[in-house]
Amino acid sequence: MTTELRVAMIGHGFMGAAHSTGWRQAPAAFDLPSVPRTAVLVGRDAQTTAASALSWGWAETSTDWRAVIHRDDIDVVDIVTPGDSHAEIAIAALAAGKHVLCEKPLANSVREAEAMHQAARDAAAHGIRAMVGFTYRRVPAVTLLRDMIAAGRIGTVRQVRTSYRQDWLSDPESPMTWRLDKDRAGSGALGDIGAHIVDMAQFVTGQALTQVSAALQTIVPERPVLAEAIGLGGTAGGERGKVTVDDLALFHGRFDSGVLASFEATRFATGRKNALDIEISGDAGALHWNLEDLNALEFYDATRPPLEQGFTRILVTEPEHPYLEGWWPAGHMLGYEHGFSHQAKDFIEAIANGHDPHPTFAEGLHVQRVLDAVERSASARAVWTEV
């Protein structure tokens, strides 16, 4: 018989909307061993939390996450709060016997991430599972890219190039948000979007970064503070707040195989709205994917005769492609939100099967160590810094 998994989501906002969509859509698209129920939405402000719950289909609301995680009728805790509260909530939820899904990056520091990893290991001994929300792994074209590398379709990996470029902060008069406050966000473009490309580069290659060489820059050091800015206080009377995170992160990385990679994370790439781009070159071919064309994967087969060589565009919508068995006929495109349904599917199946879901907190910890090494390298202006 199909059982229920009753979910409490702590936090809302943009990621709350995306996760809510994932929980709702997953059981409609896939034959799951358990059906997720969006039971409780938790936020700091009762009025805004209630409005979000009504829009996203949550049964009830609360402003007390500590009380919610100890409820007997809650099985899963989904954390979509700013990074400064990830560790406290996740550790408490795991100790209370709840499965935990935590948004990326795992924490704001290596120390916090290590504590979360240990809590997850302790909980796993009692059948409790924990996963980090690196959702782009679950875009079908990205999973296919990983599978093709593992199958040897591009031969031995020689080089990795990846970037994540946005422009939503390019206007210097865009107001302060919690994402620009290091105490709350941990870092800027580095942790917000750079964490994605670090995880993706490791995921698709099956290799781990061991060294980095980095530079960070804050392009706009001050921004206007709005009275209604969440968690920042202040008034709109000309007050400006100090930006304490990076706007731009550029770094090189070296994998444990010795392969070199380049990384760019910026929120100042004018005209680029959400351009996550990755290209892997091997001795027998290459693969390329960009989030702004997320249903397509480009494949170069260097073993073909010279007159037939060139990048081939693979439309990743066939039912044989990863995750596509649950969706539409071939050629009917998926969107950004579908990755969150795939995330819910994989998490629910791992819980039912008694397996650790990926990415684990251990994988999230390693990404945190890479981010920390990037900051240390940039601060010291070091050529290479160990992860």
Q: Do domains 3-136 and 138-357+366-380 have the same CATH topology?
A: no
Q: For residue 232, what pLDDT band results from cuts at 50, 70 and 90?
A: very low
pLDDT on residue 127 = 97
Instruction: Specify the higher pLDDT residue, 380 or 231.
Output: 380
The Cβ of residue 190 has, within 10 Å, a number of other Cβ atoms equal to 29
Q: For residue 235, what pLDDT band results from cuts at 50, 70 and 90?
A: very low
The Cα 301–Cα 282 span in angstroms is: 10
Q: What percent of the chain shows pLDDT beyond 90?
A: 95
State the pTM of this model: 0.94
pLDDT on residue 228 = 57
The Cβ of residue 44 has, within 10 Å, a number of other Cβ atoms equal to 14
The Cβ of residue 33 has, within 10 Å, a number of other Cβ atoms equal to 14
The Cα 105–Cα 15 span in angstroms is: 13
pLDDT on residue 227 = 62
Domain boundaries, the chain: 3-136, 138-357+366-380
- What average pLDDT score do residues 279-307 get? 97
The Cβ of residue 176 has, within 10 Å, a number of other Cβ atoms equal to 20
The Cα 124–Cα 376 span in angstroms is: 32
pLDDT on residue 382 = 87
**Mean per-residue pLDDT over the chain, rounded:** 95
Into which CATH architecture does domain 3-136 fall? 3-Layer(aba) Sandwich (3.40)
What confidence tens digit (pLDDT) does each residue in 149-190 have? 999 999 999 999 999 999 999 999 999 999 999 999 999 999
pLDDT on residue 2 = 59
* Superfamily for domain range 138-357+366-380: Dihydrodipicolinate Reductase; domain 2 (3.30.360.10)
pLDDT on residue 238 = 73
Q: What percent of the chain shows pLDDT beyond 70?
A: 97
| Residues whose CB falls within 8 Å of the CB of residue 240, separated by 6 or more in sequence, listed in order | 222, 223, 224, 225
